[in-house]
């Protein structure tokens, strides 16, 4: 009964989280071979101007940069996960709107009241890296919190797949010897790298 239950949970959690498994695998490979995909990471992203508008809203005085950025994002109708900060001389508010598929940089300059929106050319390796690095809990948006919760679920699932896999393997007597060889071999290689790297 326990064995059957473990198999079912192992299977269905694996199926539900399969898109994340594939995403993490492909994005890790892309990051591991950054130089192959392009020199993009070395050079930093290239921003292209998308729009320029005169801001006619009101920023909350004394509010945090993030709260002020949110007013601008709402005004642009693109509210969502972001980082914001004022330049040291307080002449420009720079907002990184962390859209997964199409990240934007918004710059507001109070002196001329202008808002400039810039975007990046679409790039698969950059999209994969953004997916891989996406966190959620530090943002005040429900979708980001749910994504972060799924990442936590993925962490629990990975541990479960390993533990349930070991339990299921040990029940199959015919595979014990070879299984032990692979498990110990993997562990030895891992320990070697943990010591030497």
Partner 1 sequence: MEFQHLNRRVHLYLGLALSPWMLLYAVSSIPFSHGRLFDELDKAKNLPNWNKAAEMAFDAPAPEDKAGLRELGRAMMRAAGREGAFGAYRQGAKQVNVYHHSVWRSTQIKYFVEERRLVVEDKRFRWDHMLTGLHAKGGFEQDSVLHDSWGVVVDIVCLGLIVWVASGICMWLPVRGLRKPGIAALAAGAASFALFVWLL
Residue 153 interacts with partner 1 (CB under 8 A): yes or no: no
- Hunting for tokens 């330049």 — which residue is that? 87
Whether 24 and 158 have beta carbons less than 8 Å apart is answered as no
Residue 5 interacts with partner 1 (CB under 8 A): yes or no: no
Candidate list 90, 101, 173, 177; residue touching partner 1; CB under 8 A: 101
Binding segment for partner 1 among 22-30, 54-62, 89-97, 113-121 (CB under 8 A)?
22-30
Task: State in angstroms the smallest separation of the CB of 19 from partner 1.
Answer: 4
Residue 3 CB burial class (10 angstroms; 0-12, 13-18, ≥19): exposed
Candidate list 4, 15, 73, 167; residue touching partner 1; CB under 8 A: 15
**Six-digit token pair at 111?**
């002196």
Phi/psi region, residue 96 (left: phi>0; alpha: psi -120 to 50; beta: rest), is beta
Q: In the chain, what is the greatest distance between 2 CA atoms, to the nearest angstrom?
A: 76
Q: Report d(CA 159, CA 155) in Å as an integer.
A: 7
The residue (of 108 and 147) whose beta carbon lies closer to partner 1 is 147
Ramachandran angles phi, psi of 175, nearest 5°: -100, 0
The residue (of 53 and 141) whose beta carbon lies closer to partner 1 is 141
Q: How is residue 172 annotated by DSSP? A: -
Which residues, at least 6 apart from 100, have a Cβ–Cβ distance to it below 8 Å? 127, 130, 131, 134
Residue 47 interacts with partner 1 (CB under 8 A): yes or no: no
Residue 29 interacts with partner 1 (CB under 8 A): yes or no: yes
Candidate list 46, 53, 162, 171; residue touching partner 1; CB under 8 A: 162
Residue 37 interacts with partner 1 (CB under 8 A): yes or no: no
Residue 100 interacts with partner 1 (CB under 8 A): yes or no: yes
Ramachandran angles phi, psi of 35, nearest 5°: -60, -30
Residue 18 interacts with partner 1 (CB under 8 A): yes or no: yes
For partner 1, the binding residues (CB under 8 A) are 11-26, 28-29, 31-35, 42, 80-81, 98-101, 131, 134-138, 143-144, 146-148, 150-152, 154-156, 158-159, 161-162, 165-166, 169, 175, 178-179, 182-183, 185-187, 189-190, 193-197
């Amino acid at each position: 009964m326990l064995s059957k239950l473990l198999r079912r949970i192992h299977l269905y959690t694996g199926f539900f989280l399969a898109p994340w498994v594939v995403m993490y695998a492909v994005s890790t490979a892309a990051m591991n071979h950054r130089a192959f995909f392009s020199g993009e990471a070395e050079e930093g992203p290239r921003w292209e101007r998308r729009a320029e508008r005169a801001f006619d809203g009101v920023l909350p005085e004394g509010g945090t940069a993030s709260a002020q950025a949110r007013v601008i994002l709402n005004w642009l109708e693109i509210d969502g996960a972001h980082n914001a900060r004022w330049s040291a001389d307080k002449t420009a508010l720079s907002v990184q709107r962390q859209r997964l598929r199409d990240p934007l940089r918004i710059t507001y300059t109070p002196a001329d009241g202008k808002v400039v929106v810039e975007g990046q050319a679409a790039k698969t390796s950059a999209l994969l890296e953004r997916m891989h690095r996406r966190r959620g809990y530090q943002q005040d948006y429900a979708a980001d919190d749910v994504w972060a919760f799924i990442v936590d679920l993925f962490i629990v699932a990975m541990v479960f797949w390993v533990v349930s896999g070991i339990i299921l393997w040990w029940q199959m007597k015919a595979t014990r010897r070879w299984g032990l060889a692979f498990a110990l071999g993997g562990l030895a290689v891992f320990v070697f790298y943990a010591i030497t790297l």
